[in-house]
């Protein structure tokens, strides 16, 4: 008995964080800084900053297939290979299709990164704050449930996160896209500035700005303390950045947490479920299966943060059953796994532009021109709900445009060195409205390699999503036309949900325990010592890139949890 008691003590912590990605890293940082002995559980392998980025400095000719995946890989991975960021230099950070199977009741492309740092190594790094227009939208427009917080609740936490992360951007003074704590912005090129002027001339409600992104254009003392350096505009970010020029858990939050002496990271730890104690009326620990040996271990803590990324967080919670919660932890109302939403990326446009032949651009800028949503912002104006942001970029074809052409001699070589014509690419990122029918659940008979039920995805588009797509294609073409672009072509790629990699919901926040799972502190209404602060907690999805909001919610919740624990309330 004494040995068992000692063993449990050695497996006990003040806090456990499930997941080491963008939100999990922030939970670890904040909890460790508050003096809490914190265990981070990561189902994937260890990846250490710089030393575990094997392809970061590789040239194309250093890679066996010149940075392309062989046909055999693509045939074996029809889901993973759809991701724009997966290539020969980055494939080690992506989950292969056979490694963690799931069941698609409706087509859903689940893109995952299982390693310490999670998808923070391979995210697109675009960061826009929400405004109050997003937080009030469900109550105003009659969908989902009312958010239990507003912009004022999150604004100081956005600032805290932005200062530590390092966000490049410009103070644009747009009420629907609040300004933040910015480093110097990247610049629009000449054609993008031309379009910016044309949009301003023709539309009073539309604003073209340079995108805001998590890149260090001018590192501040806090970033130098992290050991990070200036972004080199290489656009090789998905390989892991040896300069620390962009934000990741690996380069910033996890090392910062480790400096406190309060952090323990356990990789290769597949979380099976959260342990609920009937007598104590709270969660007491986490059950873990070793990724390789399949051995089960239990870890114990006073508070638990669930940050496994949206769908895996839903999976863990649905699998955390007990006599008190037979349908999943905290799931008294049957809504766990429901109201999953995402961003609609289906629409895009291309165009050519004549002029500015004497101008070019330098470097590989890690962001694009960006246009905040202009549809249904302050009131309902269209026959569809919500809106969409627009991103676009202009570029000139480089020397590679000559590939495949026949020729020889000085004239041919000179043509290869001459930049081609300007072209423009424009894309949408639209809000989808959470619906009860869009959900995930556990399979009753199919298990994964660790004996855990497979996740079933049942998430699809609706008529509102098609209407918003059509509006973007019309409005986008009109804006390009008024900007003087030619040969405008529109596309609906009909991609599956999930490929946006912005899935959210299933464990939504709200004011009423009858209609939501979490309160305003991201805390389960009925399991007070468990918090969910990744995409699963989102009540609605807005139209902005979500990661900066996940980080701000996490920092806020972690500080609240540490304070409540100190008071003895958890």
In this predicted model, which residue has the larger pLDDT, 410 or 76?
76
Burial class (CB in 10 A: 0-12, 13-18, 19+), 299: buried
Q: Which DSSP category does 64 fall into? A: T
DSSP characters over 336-348? TTEEEE-EE--EE
From residue 90, alpha-carbon distances to 20, 53, 112, 238, 529 in Å are 19, 9, 13, 6, 37
Produce one character per residue of 69-107: b if its CB has 16 or more CB atoms within 10 Å, e if not: beeebeeebebbbebebbbbbbbbbbbbeeebebbbeee
Q: How far apart are CA 398 and CA 64, in angstroms?
A: 24
pLDDT band, residue 5 (cuts 50/70/90): low
Res. 260: pLDDT tops 70: yes
Q: How far apart are CA 355 and CA 422, in angstroms?
A: 8
Q: Which DSSP category does 42 fall into? A: -
Q: How far apart are CA 512 and CA 528, in angstroms?
A: 15
Q: What is the pLDDT of residue 411?
A: 81
Cβ(42)–Cβ(118) below 8 Å: yes
Q: How far apart are CA 189 and CA 174, in angstroms?
A: 21
User: Which CATH class name applies to 13-57+67-567?
Assistant: alpha beta
pLDDT band, residue 289 (cuts 50/70/90): very high
Q: How far apart are CA 228 and CA 242, in angstroms?
A: 9
- Which position has the token pair 């890679």? 63
Burial class (CB in 10 A: 0-12, 13-18, 19+), 423: middle
The DSSP H or E segment spanning 454 is strand 453-458
Q: What is the pLDDT of residue 414?
A: 77
Q: Which DSSP category does 174 fall into? A: B
**Pair of tokens at residue 316:** 């863990």
Cβ(392)–Cβ(353) below 8 Å: no
Phi-psi region of 548 (alpha: psi -120 to 50; beta: other; left: phi over 0): alpha
Task: Give the predicted TM-score (pTM) of the model.
Answer: 0.97
Burial class (CB in 10 A: 0-12, 13-18, 19+), 569: exposed
**Pair of tokens at residue 431:** 């809000």
Contacts of 250 (CB under 8 A, 6+ apart): 47, 48, 49, 116, 117, 120, 121, 240
Q: What is the pLDDT of residue 398?
A: 72
Res. 462: pLDDT tops 60: yes
- Listed by start position, the domains of the chain span 13-57+67-567
pLDDT band, residue 418 (cuts 50/70/90): confident
**Pair of tokens at residue 198:** 């044309």
Res. 219: pLDDT tops 90: yes
Residues 524-549: tens digit of each pLDDT: 999 999 999 999 999 999 999 999 99
Residues 345-377: tens digit of each pLDDT: 999 999 999 999 999 888 899 999 999 999 999
From residue 548, alpha-carbon distances to 2, 22, 171, 341 in Å are 46, 9, 17, 18
In this predicted model, which residue has the larger pLDDT, 286 or 9?
286
Res. 4: pLDDT tops 60: no
Res. 29: pLDDT tops 60: yes
Is the C-alpha dihedral spanning 481, 484, 489, 490 positive or negative?
negative
Least Cα distance to 555 among 158, 89, 247 occurs for 158
Q: What is the pLDDT of residue 7?
A: 66
């Amino acid at each position: 008995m004494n040995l068992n008691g000692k063993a449990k003590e050695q497996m006990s912590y003040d806090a456990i964080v499930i997941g080491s990605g963008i939100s999990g890293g922030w939970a670890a940082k904040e909890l460790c800084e508050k003096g809490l002995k914190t265990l981070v559980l990561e189902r994937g392998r260890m990846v250490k900053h710089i030393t575990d980025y094997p392809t970061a400095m590789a040239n194309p000719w250093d890679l066996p297939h010149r940075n392309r995946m062989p046909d055999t890989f693509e045939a074996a991975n029809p889901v993973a290979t759809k991701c724009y960021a997966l290539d020969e230099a980055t494939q080690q950070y992506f989950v292969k299709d056979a490694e963690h199977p799931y069941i698609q009741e409706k087509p859903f492309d689940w893109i995952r990164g299982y390693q310490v740092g999670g998808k923070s190594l391979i995210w697109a790094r675009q960061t826009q704050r929400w405004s109050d227009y997003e937080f009030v939208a469900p109550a105003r427009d009659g969908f989902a449930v009312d958010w239990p917080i507003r912009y004022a609740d999150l604004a100081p936490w956005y600032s805290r996160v932005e200062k530590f992360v390092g966000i490049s951007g410009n103070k644009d003074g747009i009420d629907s896209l609040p300004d933040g704590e910015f480093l110097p912005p990247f610049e629009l090129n000449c054609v993008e500035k031309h379009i910016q002027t044309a949009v301003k001339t023709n539309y009073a409600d539309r604003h073209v700005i340079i995108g805001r992104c998590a890149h260090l254009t001018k590192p501040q003392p806090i970033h130098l303390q992290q050991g990070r350096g200036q972004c080199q505009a290489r656009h090789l970010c998905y390989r892991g950045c040896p300069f620390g020029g962009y934000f990741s858990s690996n380069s910033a939050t996890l090392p910062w947490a480790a400096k406190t002496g309060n952090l323990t990271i356990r990789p290769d730890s597949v979380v099976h479920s959260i342990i609920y104690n009937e007598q104590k009326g709270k969660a007491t620990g986490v059950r873990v299966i070793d990724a390789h040996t399949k051995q089960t271990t239990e870890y114990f803590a006073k508070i638990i943060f669930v940050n496994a990324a949206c769908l895996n967080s839903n999976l863990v919670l649905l699998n955390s059953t007990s006599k008190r919660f037979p349908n999943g932890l905290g799931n008294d109302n049957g809504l766990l796994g429901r109201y999953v939403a995402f961003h609609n990326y289906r629409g895009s446009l291309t165009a050519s532009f004549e002029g500015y032949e004497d101008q070019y651009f330098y470097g590989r800028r890690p962001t694009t021109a960006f246009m905040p949503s202009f549809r249904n912002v302050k009131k309902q104006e269209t026959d569809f709900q919500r809106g969409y942001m627009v991103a676009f970029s202009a570029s000139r074809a480089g020397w590679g445009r000559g590939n495949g052409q026949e020729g020889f001699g000085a004239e041919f070589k000179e043509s290869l060195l001459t930049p081609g014509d300007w072209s423009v690419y424009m894309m949408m990122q639209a809000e989808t409205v959470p619906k009860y029918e869009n959900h995930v659940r556990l399979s009753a008979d199919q298990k994964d390699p660790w004996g855990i039920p497979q996740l079933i995805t049942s998430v699809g588009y609706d008529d509102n999503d098609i209407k918003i797509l059509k509006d973007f294609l019309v409005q986008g073409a009109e804006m390009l036309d008024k900007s003087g672009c030619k040969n405008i072509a529109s596309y609906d790629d009909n991609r599956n949900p999930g490929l946006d990699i912005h899935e959210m919901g299933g464990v939504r926040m709200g004011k009423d325990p009858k209609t939501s799972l979490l309160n305003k502190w991201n805390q389960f209404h009925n399991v007070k010592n468990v918090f969910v602060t990744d995409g699963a907690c989102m009540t609605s999805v807005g139209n902005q890139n979500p990661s900066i909001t996940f980080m701000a919610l996490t920092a806020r919740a972690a500080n609240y949890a540490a304070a409540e624990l100190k008071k003895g309330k958890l």
